[in-house]
Amino acid sequence: MKIRHFFPAVTFAFAFTASTSFGYVREFDNGIPLAWVKDRTVAMQLSLGTGTRTLRDGFTSFNDSAIDALKTWNPHLAHLQFSWVKNSPVTAVEGDDEMSVIFDNKIFGSSFGSGTLAVTLLGYRNGNFEETDTVFNSAISWDSYRGPLTPPVFDFHRVAIHEFGHTLGLDHPDEPGPLRPRPQLVAALVLGAFSLVLMDEAHLFGVRDAHGFRPLVLGKTEGGWVLASETAALDLVDAHYVRDVEPGEMVAIDAGGVRSIRFAEPSPKLCLFEFVYIARPDTQLYGHSVHAARQRMGEALARQAPQERGLVNLNDVVAAVLVLVGPQYERQGVRLHQVLASSLAPVLGQANALQQVVLNLVTNVLYNTTMTDMETCFKAVRADVLKGLPLRSERFGIEPEITAKLFKRGARVYEVPITYEGRDYAEGKKITWRDGFPALWALVKYRFVD
């Protein structure tokens, strides 16, 4: 026995679908899944008008728009493919075992329901489909276009994609019916926090939730496109930033370029902890530098909860810098963290403080940098980079030599400021103002020789 079942696409439901990305579920009959015979080609008989008309998306007929909708499905089908007959000579008749696609003001003699855009009829026997017919309501004003819906003119192309999903045997998961006594909600498809990157053989997809809770950016290289969670990742592959993937947007990238698909209304609510902790400091979020934002937050915290300078265990501070801060600053394969000794003058005297100013100035002029403390003795450098430096100095000259040779090799330097109480001479401090001269000589010498 052949059973007839139909699936309507109505105006309010379809408009809602376009904005909230409803999915499909398999259609069942008495617990048996309905499907086409495996490895079949389903030939669609397209009879959507023989004339030509330039539609808003460039197609010259609704037949061409329908063909493109079928092509949209084919890459995702493993054991079935659509084919088509354009301007088919087949007369659409129910029960003829053909897959007709037509415009009409009735569904084989039955009236369309109020506001119904299109209906797909399925004929099946013993769980196998034998016939489908899709009827688009000719009383509706149709065009074929992209972007937001513009009622009362409806987009034929996306309705066709929707209806051809029913041709495949996919059902609405969100509507009750004779085989589904209660609605199956799929709100989880569009709620929650996610940034997704997906691939198949020919496409790259990036999807960001409606709130944009997690970042996702689009970049471009000479040879193609890049999706990444942060702008800093684009720098590592020599890609330039194009734009953020917007909240509620999916971008689809293929050989033809980038397409944007809006699946939910945006309501931006970026996670605060991206600025506080998660994102790398050299990342840009919503056009703002993460590093600069953290500096401003630190300044605000200092104003709200001022603290007197106290004694800090420097080893603990350096360990914390390397373990907690270090991984965030990695860039171009080299890390250099310098600790700023901000209390030199009280400990070493004005002469040594002046020496520091001079050495920093010479370093910045010779190596085109903006260092604030080139003599700091705490540096974290990647092992393979440090082993590649031919170091020759003894005593305190080793500090400017390391700094100079890293700069000559293009290392990026990040200074991490701390406050500490340094030793005085009574406690064993050994460096004096005289050590500034060997340091100055090392900076000049290693600018020109290795």
Tell me which amino acid residue 385 is.
V
Residue identified by tokens 């020109």 is: 448
Range of the domain at 86: 3-187
Average pLDDT, integer, range 200-227: 89
Are the CB atoms for 360 and 371 separated by under 8 Å?
Answer: yes
Give dist(CA 338, CA 350) in Å, integer. Answer: 22
Q: Percent of the chain beyond pLDDT 70?
A: 73
- 17 and 148, same domain (yes or no): yes
Give dist(CA 16, CA 7) in Å, integer. Answer: 16
Coil vs helix vs strand at 317? helix
- 150 and 67, same domain (yes or no): yes
435 assigned to some structural domain = yes
Helices within 150-260 (DSSP H only):
156-167, 231-236
Q: What is the pLDDT of residues 219-274, one digit of tens each?
A: 999 889 999 988 888 988 889 999 999 998 889 898 888 998 887 778 888 787 88
Residue 93 binned pLDDT confidence (cut-offs 50, 70, 90) = very high
Q: What is the pLDDT of residue 359?
A: 80
137 assigned to some structural domain = yes
17 assigned to some structural domain = yes
Determine if the peptide bond prior to 152 is cis (ω within 30°).
Answer: yes
| 334 closest CA partner among 384, 277, 283, 401 | 384
**Which of 68-82, 175-189, 284-298 is the least confident region?**
175-189
More confident: 215 or 304: 215
More confident: 328 or 309: 309
Q: What is the pLDDT of residue 30?
A: 65
- 247 and 319, same domain (yes or no): no
Q: What is the pLDDT of residue 68?
A: 96
- 10 and 139, same domain (yes or no): yes
Q: What is the pLDDT of residue 245?
A: 93
Residue 307 binned pLDDT confidence (cut-offs 50, 70, 90) = low
Q: What is the pLDDT of residue 44?
A: 97
Q: Residue 408 above 50 pLDDT?
A: yes
Q: What is the pLDDT of residues 23-67, one digit of tens each?
A: 444 556 666 677 888 889 999 999 999 888 899 999 999 999 999
Are the CB atoms for 186 and 226 separated by under 8 Å?
Answer: no
| 411 closest CA partner among 439, 372, 382 | 382
Q: Residue 101 above 70 pLDDT?
A: yes
Q: What is the pLDDT of residue 352?
A: 60
**Which of 105-114, 127-136, 148-157, 259-268 is the least confident region?**
259-268
Number of domains in the chain: 3
Q: What is the pLDDT of residue 181?
A: 39
Domain boundary among 290, 322, 349: 290
300 assigned to some structural domain = no
- 168 and 253, same domain (yes or no): no
Q: What is the pLDDT of residues 40-50, one digit of tens each?
A: 999 999 999 98
| 409 closest CA partner among 371, 431, 381, 438 | 381
Give dist(CA 402, CA 32) in Å, integer. Answer: 73
Residue identified by tokens 């007709």 is: 100
Question: How many angstroms from the chain centroid is the CA of residue 139?
Answer: 41
Give dist(CA 180, CA 171) in Å, integer. Answer: 10
Q: What is the pLDDT of residue 397?
A: 76
Average pLDDT, integer, range 338-357: 51
198 assigned to some structural domain = yes
